[in-house]
Amino acid sequence: MGKLIYGQLISAEFEDRLLAHLEIVITAKLRRGEGFLFSWKEESGATAGRTTIWVHPSLPLVYKYSGSRTPSINRAWIEVLSQSASSAGGLRVLAEPAERHHDEFLH
């Protein structure tokens, strides 16, 4: 399990594969200077429930992975997460879709 550490108050655990995809989407938004909402559910433990944060380029953000290998990236998942991040409801953790093959993007 990797961690997303936001400012001094928020630390959330995500699977490394999900965290790698979130990092790509969040970094793209922040590079453009865009702030946005990010929400996720925590299913167990003392912090069970839903958390929503306002992500903004002026606040520190750390991605800490438990493994040393970079997971393979699913472009379809990046696309779905990016669309979510640009919506009024903000970025939400969504299930990974099946990866599309290159020729599917051409049709």
List 63's β-bridge partners, or say none. Answer: 4
pTM across the whole model? 0.84
* pLDDT of res. 107: 46
pLDDT tens for 2-22 read 888 777 778 889 999 999 999
DSSP string, 32-48: TT--EEEEEEE-SSTT-
Report d(CA 103, CA 83) in Å as an integer.
Answer: 21
Tokens 């999900």 map to which residue? 18
pLDDT tens for 41-80 read 987 766 678 889 999 998 889 999 998 999 999 999 999 9
Residue 76: Cβ-neighbour burial (10 angstroms; 0-12, 13-18, 19+): middle
Checking DSSP bridges between strand 61-64 and strand 91-92, what pairing results, if any?
Answer: unpaired
Yes or no: say if 20 and 73 are a contact pair by the CB < 8 Å rule.
Answer: yes
